[in-house]
Structures are given as C-alpha cells and as structure tokens.
Amino acid sequence: MKRLIGLMKLLALTALVGGCALPVFAQEAAAPDPMQLMMDNNSALRIGLDTVWVLVTAMLVFWMNAGFALVESGLCRAKNCTNILAKNFIVFAASTISFWVLGWGLMFGDGNGFMGMSGLWFVSGADNSPALGEAYASMNPFSTAKYAGVYGAINWTPVPLWAKFFFQLVFAGTAATIVSGAVAERIKFGSFLIFSFILVAFMYPITGHWIWGGGFLGSNNFRDFAGSSVVHSVGGWAALAGVIVLGPRLGKYGKDGKVHPIPGHSLTSAALGVFILWLGWFGFNPGSTMAAMNGTAIAHVLVNTNLAAATGSLGALLTAWVLLKKPDFTMVLNGCLAGLVAITAPCAFVSIGSGAVIGFIGGILVVLAVIMFDKLKLDDPVGALAVHLCNGIWGTLAVGLFYDNQIATDIAALATGLGRGAQFMVQLKGVFWVGLFTLPVCLIVWYVIKLVMGGIRVAAEEEVEGLDIGEHGNEAYPDFVITQPAGIHGISRGAMAMSEATAEVRIPKPAAN
C-alpha cells in the first residue's frame, strides 16, 4: 500500500512537472530547469494548503460567536434573552467594519513600538502576499520570493493578505464579544454597540500591535501564541471597566453584603454554547500557526488545547464539589473555558504535560475568581471576568512558568532562548502593560459614552420588565409566562418606584398555611 502511494506521488509529480514544462518546449524557448518548476509547483501547493488551513480554522473561530451567544443567553434570564442574542450577533458585524476600516492597519501596519502607522485605512497598504518571505524559508525550503509590503510583522505566514485579515478579524470579534456577557441584563443596547466599534478600532489593535504587530512587547521576548493576553485579557479588562461603570444588576447584592443569585434560564443553551466554543478553540489555537506546515505544530497545539479544556473542566468540578458542596454545572462550563483561555498563550511553548497542569490550575482559579468577584460586588452574570481576565493573565504567566525552549523552537518557531524565570518576568511585564493601558482607556470610553448617550444603563423599570421588550420591542419567548426567578422576586415595580437602584427589597414571607 505504501509503495503504491509512493508510486502515485511520483506519477503525479511527473505529470505536474511535465504539464507545466510542455508549453515552454512547444515555444522552443530555452528549457527551464525542471527542478525549479517542481519547486514552484510545490510552493503553490504549499500556499494553497496553508491558506485552506488558515481559512477553515478562521471559520471555526467565527462560529465561536454562536457559542458565546448560547452561553451568555443561557446564563441570563429569559426576559433578557433577545437582547443578549442581539448583542452577540451584531457585535461581529461591528467588529468586521471596525477591523476592516482601521483595526487591521493599527495592529499590523509597519510603525513604531506603540502602533501601526502604514496602510492604516481599509487594509489598503502595499502587500505582495501570498509570498514566501525569508522568515518562512525555514519552514519551506522552496522559498525564493521576498516579502514586499507594509504589513511586515505578519509576513511569516505565506498566505494571501485577505486570509491573514480574516483570521485576525475573527480574533478581534472574539475580544469584543467577551464584553457582552459581563455587562448583560442592564446595559443599553446602543451603548454596547458603540463601545464594540471603538474597542475593535482602537484599544484591541493597539495592544495587539505591541504583541503581534512588531511592537515593544513582542520584540522584547514577550510571547502569547494565540491570544491569552491579546484577545482574552483585553476583552476581560474592557468587560471589567464596563462592570465598574454600570454597577450590579438590581437585587444581586443585599445591603448586608449577601449575594442573591440570579439563575440563568437555560443550561441547555449554556452547555451547547460551551461545546461550540470547545470546538471553536480547535481553530483558535492550532489555526494560530497560520500555516499547516508539516503538521507537527498543529497536532501539538490541538492536543494541548484539548487537554487543558479537559483538565480545566475537571479542576472546576473538583473545586466546586469541595468548596460549594455540589459540582455546580455552570462552574464546570466556566472551568472548561478557563482551561481553554489559559492554554491559549502557552500551547506552542510548553509540553503536553504542562498543558494539562495549566488547564487544571485554570479550572481551580475560575471557581475562586467567580466567588471573589461576587465578594467585590462586581456583578458578572456569566463569569466572563473569571474566565477571560483571570485566566488570560494566568495563561500569559504560565508561558514563563512552563516555558520550554526546545518546544518553542520546534512548534512555535518563536524561541526566546530565555530561562523560565526570565521568561516569567517578561510575561509579567506584558500583563502589566496590557492592563495598565486597556483598563483606564476603556473606563474613559465607557464614561464618555455615558456622558454622550445620557447614561449607559437602562431605567430600573425596564431592567425589571426585561430588556427584550425595553430595548427591542419583543420577547424571545412570547408564548410563555416569564416569572422572576427565585432570589430576586422581592423586586416589584412598586418597590422600584420607591427605592434606589441598589436598595434591596424583599417581600415578607407569607405565613405558612
């Protein structure tokens, strides 16, 4: 069988070389070197395969929007379901426009250490991709063409410019959609939409430039393979800023500091959403090679990704079982995502065993973080801060703690040559700079939107009635009677008129009959 395949390959190659060579012979020009033709054909095949890989994985990442829509709507109340679905849907449309108009240019345009300066608008800069630049030569011995263009920081992949653009666009969209869950059930639809446009046009691409666009972090050995920092921490910091400016949902925290849980309306949605995200991550991380190469790297990264999701789920399950007495399924779902976020930066720099440990710690962290954010009265209905911010930071630091130079050379082709301690310090600095920029800038943007739009939070009456009717004029489930879930049924419209938004109102319990 093996011999047969070998024979077929040889035949195919002969036909390829012969087929291309024939017309040249017919014109009786000087005979080209058959070896050169074979190399050219192999290069074309190589670029074709790499492009298919990049575009298919990008489509998987696009599909993560569906995952986020289901997770977030499932973990919120039925009366806000249309609103959350609408936010998750429209945010990708907004991201597409923002990233096309300006985001890509700021992120990948040649410029200084802080931001891109060339080819800023509408991805219009010079670029001769698909080209096999010198940087790609190590992966492709047939490489001869030189890269010429203004998006030099991403010339290490040979795929066409629009494949690079689409792959990076779906990542930018992911960062923006993270915000939606944390600010859910109380934000004005319009305010969220405007913030999404601004996030993807400015904040996301600037820190992205620092790390992936040739900026001061990436060129100083900071490593984030698929975006624990670039995508998840940035989305998390933006979400934290939104949560701070908005305040908690009505009835979530009592005056005595007691947490009144607000259960989500469909764990079926939430579970399907996390399955979709788990699948999508097989595009997110392995696709970040942006080339299929000889297959070793994408297989290593994919297995690391899957292991971290598995150990993250188990870590959260055990932590919830021990700390909260029951293996709360919503925590397990968050644990899976925590493992995935945590492995996103280190997946191509660490061994498979390290990947399992990183995911497991992520699963433990996410449960503790959910409880911590509730203690701090930072109301995050879906656990986006615990998943994306905490584990984005954890994953970025884990690159240093578990860094393996040999794997970084073989898998990521981005070795730094540093020891674990030194790499950890570099990672820590990167985490610091990303937070120091993104959180204050996002706070300012949220406050400016609040000022300009006359508030970013819906009226108390609308929050009680549900944002579906208030923001969109219709409901997700018009055939059903929607009741207040337990824990917050004390909030009535009458009580709302009398009390401030943060006051806790509980109807006295009826006497037993």
Partner 1 sequence: MKKIEAIIKPFKLEEVKEALSEVGIEGMTVSEVKGFGRQKGHTEIYRGSEYVVDFLPKIKIEVVLSDDKADTAVETIIKAARTGKIGDGKVFILPVEEAVRIRTAERAEAAV
Q: Which residues bind partner 1 (CB under 8 A)?
A: 258-263, 320, 323-326, 328, 330-331, 367, 370-371, 374, 383, 486-487, 489, 509, 512-513
Nearest to 191 by CA among 437, 438, 439, 467: 467
C-beta of 414: minimal distance to partner 1 in Å?
Answer: 38
HSE toward the beta carbon, residue 415, CA cutoff 13 A: 12
C-beta of 511: minimal distance to partner 1 in Å?
Answer: 11
C-beta of 344: minimal distance to partner 1 in Å?
Answer: 24
C-beta of 83: minimal distance to partner 1 in Å?
Answer: 21
CA distances from 481 to 72, 444, 466, 477, 478 (A): 21, 40, 13, 8, 8
Question: Closest CB to partner 1 among 367 and 411?
Answer: 367
HSE toward the beta carbon, residue 488, CA cutoff 13 A: 22
Contact between 197 and 88 (Cβ < 8 Å): no
Question: Closest CB to partner 1 among 316 and 415?
Answer: 316
Question: Closest CB to partner 1 among 113 and 490?
Answer: 490
Q: What is the DSSP letter of 511?
A: P
C-beta of 88: minimal distance to partner 1 in Å?
Answer: 21
Residue with tokens 């639809």: 189
- Type of residue found at 41: N
Contact between 345 and 228 (Cβ < 8 Å): yes
Contact between 505 and 492 (Cβ < 8 Å): yes
C-beta of 230: minimal distance to partner 1 in Å?
Answer: 28
The count of other CB atoms within 10 Å of the CB of residue 271 is: 18
Token pair recorded at residue 170? 């779906």
C-beta of 387: minimal distance to partner 1 in Å?
Answer: 13
Nearest to 200 by CA among 176, 232, 180: 176
C-beta of 324: minimal distance to partner 1 in Å?
Answer: 5
Question: Closest CB to partner 1 among 2 and 326?
Answer: 326
Cα 342–Cα 194–Cα 161 angle in degrees, nearest 5: 60
Contact between 346 and 402 (Cβ < 8 Å): yes
Question: Closest CB to partner 1 among 473 and 508?
Answer: 508
Question: Closest CB to partner 1 among 328 and 463?
Answer: 328
- Type of residue found at 128: N
Nearest to 237 by CA among 341, 385, 378: 385
Contact between 289 and 298 (Cβ < 8 Å): yes
Question: Closest CB to partner 1 among 79 and 223?
Answer: 79
Cα 51–Cα 56–Cα 60 angle in degrees, nearest 5: 145
Question: Closest CB to partner 1 among 70 and 226?
Answer: 70
